[in-house]
Structure 1
Amino acid sequence: MQGQSRTLRLDRGQRLQAVCVLGTTLSIDVNGGSPPECKWFSFRPTPNIEIEVLNSDASQQKVINGVKLWPLSKKTLVEFRMTTPSTETNDGKITFAYYGKGSDAPVDKAGIYLTGIEMSLDVDADRDGTVEKNNPRKATWTWGPEGQGAILLVNCDKDSMFSRTVDGGDNIVLSKADLLDMSRMLLRIQGPEKLPTGYHLLLYISATDAPNLGVFHQHNKVYTHVVGREKLFYKARYTGTGELEFYVEGLRFPDEGFNGLVTVKASLLETQVEGIPETPIFTDVVTFRIAPLIITPNTLEPVEVYVCSVKDNYLFLKEIKNLVSEANYKIRICFEYVNRGDRWMQDEMEFGYIHAPHKSFPVVLDSPRDGELKDFPIRELLGPDFGYVTRVAASSEVTSLDSFGNLEVSPPVTAAGKKYPLGRILIGSSFPTSSGRRMTKVVRDFLYAQRVQSPIELFTDWLLVGHVDEFMTFVPAPDQKGFRLVLASPATCLRVFQEKKQEGHGDATMFQGLETKRWTVTKILSTDVIVQENIYAQHCIDWNRDILKKELGLTEEDIIDIPALFRLHKDEAVAFFPNMVNMIVLGKDLGIPKPYGPIIKETCSLEDYVVELFKPLELKCTFIDDVVSYHKKLGEVHCGTNVRRKPFSFKWWQMEQP
């Protein structure tokens, strides 16, 4: 931190000792060391000192015996700074001489012995992966392509089997791989082998920041926790010329009441008299921002698909495995000894990642729903370079809307002139004027606090389950837009059925091959309660359609409507036939719930309609039978699967301030 200054007091006949940090200015009131009646003074510095006289009338200067004398006034100050680090203690010196009126020889003298050191606390403030020296903007944090300020990752993975739940919070580094997750911080020193007596180096943080970060330093070949949590400071060992290396970890994601910024300071302390508190004579400051959790939209490239194996989903599992295999991605099956009969893989967790210039790794966000799958994220996913985070809510507060089928992310968009290069989070909520269900506050607060994917709240409380994935999804598109919003549409379904009836297919039946009540096209169109319930469902979806168009900057050309029908169960909607919008998106391969629509000319008319709809986008549709194992249990393909995806190529810190 450049530009610091401090004042020294000089007494007659005194030989003052001081340490001067390069880049700082020392100031002396020369009157303090002058005898009474003295009118002039001179000074002689060693070559490693620059000196300047302030508030002295230069026109009154005179030279006696080759020595320039400066007139003294009550306001006269001398400012000086050292230009190079000392090689030995006290190798800088200024001698002051005082002269009386008409005197050719000094009446008295005083002197200062100076030890110059170069000192800087350094981090990767320019975000290029290297710790540069004394970046002038390292104490502040700014967004954007030209932004400055260092970044911390929350140390939420588990590199060592001996760690607690996650690495963050350990008192020693148990694995060298763990150091790679942390940000390097260097205390750079250049000066003599030893400091004068009474000077110490201190690394410290505020009590407010203490729960949010940890600092490690090597002792006897072991990296030990020295600052953070209950430790607010660490007395660092002065080593002369060299670097003290520290590693810094984040312990907490940005959240309600915590904006993600943390500050570390290093001070040079001075003790004048034993028993008197030390005072800082120089302080350097660095600021980190803790990286947010970034959630991935389903238009990013898949890495691995997750699905449960339960007693009644053998055929579903077989079809999912075939789809994933043909799309050439990996699959991980969670067996019953872990899932304990809980099949809703989407609802238990959401995948994201964290990213700093030096490192990036995936993180699973564990839902507070805590069904029988609750052990899967921490037991099966947490590990080396795979992080874990959760938010705990009171069980009385948790509703169906806290399951993560109710948490999606849009692809990158621009809306109202503002760019969202990492997309926007979408969560379902209640109608603005109602007191219905909402996602629990601790999760909503957490999502909003990440800042980089500014959340949008949609109206989903009209649905029995209440999840956004029951009426919307996104699919990739091979054009400049890059995606389409897909919405479930009762109006589209009723229109398609009307067309089929007019074509003479009113007797075509749905649900063929299933042990369920069969419905013809004509019967559906003539059943007034179905029509009225779906007019209501369409109204609810249109409410969300308008929000999405505004908040995501979409036009009607960016939206695809696919047929869907709903029925009301105690005033809350459920899918009448398998809900095709609740699909799994694997690049250009779509796994869509088989709708069991009206069979016309030996093919399902709803499947044919959707295939034609997606053909211009070069998307391949595979229809998966989920009726028995998921649909009848109020879920579909998307609810029963989950996908970990590659991160965005865009670096979140290059966003304009969100």
Structure 2
Amino acid sequence: MAPRRAVRLSPREPAHAVCVVGVETPVDVRNDVPKGAKTFGVSGSSEVKVYMLYDPARVPEPAGRARWPLDADVDVVVVADTVSKDLNDLRVKVSYFESQEAGALGHSMLYLTGVDVSLDADTSRTGKVKKGSVDKKTWRWGSRGSGAILLVNCDRDAVHGSREDLHASHLRSLEDLQDMSPVVLSCRGPDELFESHKLFLKASLPDSRRLRVFCARGGTSLSNYKQVLGPHHQSYEVERRPGERDIKFYVEGLTFPDTSFSGLVSLSASLVDTEALSEASLFTDSVTFRVAPWIMTPNTQPPLELYVCSVTDAHGHNDKFLKDMAHLALKANCNLVVVPRVENRNDRWIQDEMEFGYIDAPHKSFPVVFDSPRNRGLRDFALKKILGPDFGYVTREIEYAGASGLDSFGNLDVSPPVTVGNREYPLGRILIGGSFPKSSGRRMARVVRDFLQAQQVQAPVELYSDWLSVGHVDEFMTFVPTSDQKGFRLLLASPSACLQLFQEKKEEGYGEALQFEGLKHKMKRSINDILADKHLKRDSIHVQECIDWNRAVLKRELGLAESDIVDIPQLFFLKGAYAEAFFPDMVNMVVLGKYLGIPKPFGPLINGRCCLEEKVRSLLEPLGLHCIFIDDFLFYHQLLGEIHCGTNVRRKPFTFRWWNSVP
């Protein structure tokens, strides 16, 4: 706030002022002085501290009875140490002298009323409101940082209602208060003072559209909680009742950080003298909040729930696939959620429809589902079936054009925590697929990219996925947790590794072993035939170049070494200008802790065992992983998707708190 105007003193009549405890009040001792006065001295009651402000290099401190020259560059400030019991019960006396030895020529009296006015929130990030924070206006990142945090109230605690709680202008459930950040307005002082002085709670116009404040008046009725600030209310005259010392408020966020919103919002409380000519504000205290970002969880986080859709098509019902998922979830000690056809409308691509994440504040944390703009059969599932008590919802819609395939969330992933040079990313980095740099290919919608970027804590990296027919990053990469010091590996699809494996098997005498053995409706291809296929070889070289370009980006942006990457044998073929998987794409797997649900590749059988499966086992099982190969050929692979596309996993949040990072 602006420096307070000094209180002017006069020997002819006493002056009166309201002094906020702990806040300096400047005093003008030169406005009206007795004739002949050359020095002055100041004294005060025990509850008042008096400070002389001066430059020691230019003004010598007086000896003896501390009489200061009136013509010296010395300012006087007073600070009340305690709250007054009555009006004007604190005293400051200024005496004027002609010389050091002479008696006083006159005195000016200042009577103070000490009040305690402060606006406090959980700026120390302990989960509780603590009074007395030094700098509540500045929000600082890092483990030594400070600043209050708001959650977007995007769950639905009310039993009745179809949308998030933030859409309601009134409190719908007492449980909803747990999602909000408490704020306390201290207003301690003589009751008579508040008959001529008012308290106002305020937010700027932009901030009032991004938060909502409820005033709490105790009790267990919803009527005890009144909305006082929000989209249509910037200012609130606080009703202070006689004897009231603290007034409690609850604050909720209404929107996530985005391209036009940094995430910072502020509240201020002002003490206003209503008897002054222009209702002068005597003191303002402010608190700055940061709205908590939406955070993704990588494959290295333990699974909580596995989602999969029950569907029917020309091949029948995917019962066998659902049983395989149930078996996998049981092994991983993970809850299985089967979405019935009436809810998915025969849309099986649940990974593409949504992404699970969470929001976190010192006082509360809950999962939040990010609904993609693809809007196909599953378009209503997240809003209607996942949004609920302590389960939030957020989406971004594309206004001017329909969603492209790259807007599906199979094209959205996040790395485990990484360190790149001296820069730490303790929550990992978001990965999305797009076009080759400076080309005019497909990209994820700007509204989604802007949203992800604005969260700050998982700085996104854009990869090149437009070379794929579907165009999703999960078609050529995934992360798996490992039991070693590194804690994870990046798996990349590799045509080169596949051709090398097949060449080795040919040289071992297995050239006539057949790819797709055991599949009724797929033409079988021998290893010799595959290696002799010039078109497939050409396509493989092209795809490998695309993956290698991404490999270099991932190494650079995630700080990875070659030893952190595992090449998974995989072949692709070009259909027009875009690539599709030649056999079920094994990196498009579902990761449930150490258990991996991998698309069964139906590779050449050698001594009764699939050589592709055996190769993958040899690469991953030494890392402490269990490879479970699952047939997804008819219901997923033939429709240009695999297991990861047809499943979704909610995972445990990070134990690391996002505000301790430094973006």
Question: Which band: TM-score by shorter chain?
Answer: over 0.9
1:365 CA drift (Å): 0.5
User: 1:22-59 CA distances to partner (integer Å, 9 max, x unpaired)?
Assistant: 11222232332335565566666433223356689999
Q: Who is 1:84 aligned against?
A: 82
- 8 Å CA contact retained: 1:123, 1:186: yes
Count of residue pairs the alignment pairs up: 650
In the alignment, structure 1 residue 466 sits paired with structure 2 residue 471:
yes
Structure 2: how far apart are the matches of 1:484 and 1:61? 74
Q: Who is 1:114 aligned against?
A: 112
In the alignment, structure 1 residue 20 sits paired with structure 2 residue 27:
no
In the alignment, structure 1 residue 317 sits paired with structure 2 residue 325:
no
Partner AA of 1:214 in structure 2: R
- Which of 517, 522, 537 is matched with 1:516 structurally? 522
1:317 CA drift (Å): 1.6
Local SS of the residue matching 2:525: coil
Distance 1:13 1:494, change over 3 A: same
Distance 1:228 1:277, change over 3 A: farther
User: 1:86-119 CA distances to partner (integer Å, 9 max, x unpaired)?
Assistant: 0111112335566789998977765332110122
Structure 2: how far apart are the matches of 1:387 and 1:122? 27
In the alignment, structure 1 residue 256 sits paired with structure 2 residue 259:
yes
1:481 CA drift (Å): 0.3
Local SS of the residue matching 1:549: helix
In the alignment, structure 1 residue 561 sits paired with structure 2 residue 564:
no
Q: Who is 1:48 aligned against?
A: 47
After superposition, residues 90-129 of structure 1 pair within 5 angstroms as: 90-96=88-94, 110-129=108-127
Local SS of the residue matching 2:131: coil
Q: Who is 2:248 aligned against?
A: 245
Task: Judge which range, 400-409 or 591-600, deviates more.
Answer: 591-600
Q: Who is 1:233 aligned against?
A: 235
- Which of 473, 496, 499 is matched with 1:491 structurally? 496
1:298 CA drift (Å): 1.1
Structure 2: how far apart are the matches of 1:622 and 1:62? 90
Distance 1:102 1:61, change over 3 A: closer
Partner AA of 2:29 in structure 1: V
The TM-score, its normalising length taken from structure 2, stands at: 0.92
Task: Judge which range, 30-39 or 645-654, deviates more.
Answer: 30-39
Distance 1:467 1:101, change over 3 A: closer
- Which of 571, 592, 596 is matched with 2:577 structurally? 571
Partner AA of 2:267 in structure 1: V
- 8 Å CA contact retained: 2:197, 2:275: no
Distance 1:615 1:44, change over 3 A: closer
Structure 2: how far apart are the matches of 1:517 and 1:583? 24
Considering only aligned residues, what root-mean-square deviation do their CA atoms show, in Å?
A: 2.6
Structure 2: how far apart are the matches of 1:476 and 1:31? 74
- 8 Å CA contact retained: 2:59, 2:73: no
User: 1:127-163 CA distances to partner (integer Å, 9 max, x unpaired)?
Assistant: 1112111111322111111111111111111111235
Distance 1:552 1:50, change over 3 A: closer
Distance 1:648 1:100, change over 3 A: closer
- 8 Å CA contact retained: 2:309, 2:344: yes
Structure 2: how far apart are the matches of 1:650 and 1:24? 37
- Which of 476, 484, 498 is matched with 1:479 structurally? 484
Local SS of the residue matching 1:31: coil
- 8 Å CA contact retained: 2:636, 2:643: yes
- 8 Å CA contact retained: 2:117, 2:188: yes
5+ residue gaps, structure 2, are: none
1:551 CA drift (Å): 1.1
- Which of 521, 525, 541 is matched with 1:535 structurally? 541
Distance 1:605 1:271, change over 3 A: same
1:196 CA drift (Å): 5.8
Q: Who is 1:360 aligned against?
A: 365
Distance 1:77 1:498, change over 3 A: closer
Local SS of the residue matching 1:607: helix
- 8 Å CA contact retained: 1:31, 1:76: no
Structure 2: how far apart are the matches of 1:40 and 1:398? 79
Structure 2: how far apart are the matches of 1:394 and 1:168? 22
Structure 2: how far apart are the matches of 1:423 and 1:348? 22
1:506 CA drift (Å): 1.5
- Which of 171, 178, 187 is matched with 1:173 structurally? 171
Local SS of the residue matching 1:299: coil
Q: Who is 1:307 aligned against?
A: 308
Distance 1:354 1:69, change over 3 A: closer
- Which of 413, 417, 424 is matched with 2:422 structurally? 417
The TM-score, its normalising length taken from structure 1, stands at: 0.93
User: 1:405-428 CA distances to partner (integer Å, 9 max, x unpaired)?
Assistant: 000011111112211111111100
Local SS of the residue matching 1:209: helix
Partner AA of 1:636 in structure 2: E
User: 1:384-415 CA distances to partner (integer Å, 9 max, x unpaired)?
Assistant: 11010001112525210000000001111111
Structure 2: how far apart are the matches of 1:62 and 1:459? 80
Structure 1: how far apart are the matches of 2:354 and 2:434? 18
Q: Who is 1:546 aligned against?
A: 552
Local SS of the residue matching 2:515: coil
Distance 1:599 1:88, change over 3 A: same
Distance 1:498 1:77, change over 3 A: closer
1:214 CA drift (Å): 1.4
Structure 2: how far apart are the matches of 1:94 and 1:491? 87
- Which of 625, 630, 639 is matched with 2:631 structurally? 625
Q: Who is 2:377 aligned against?
A: 372
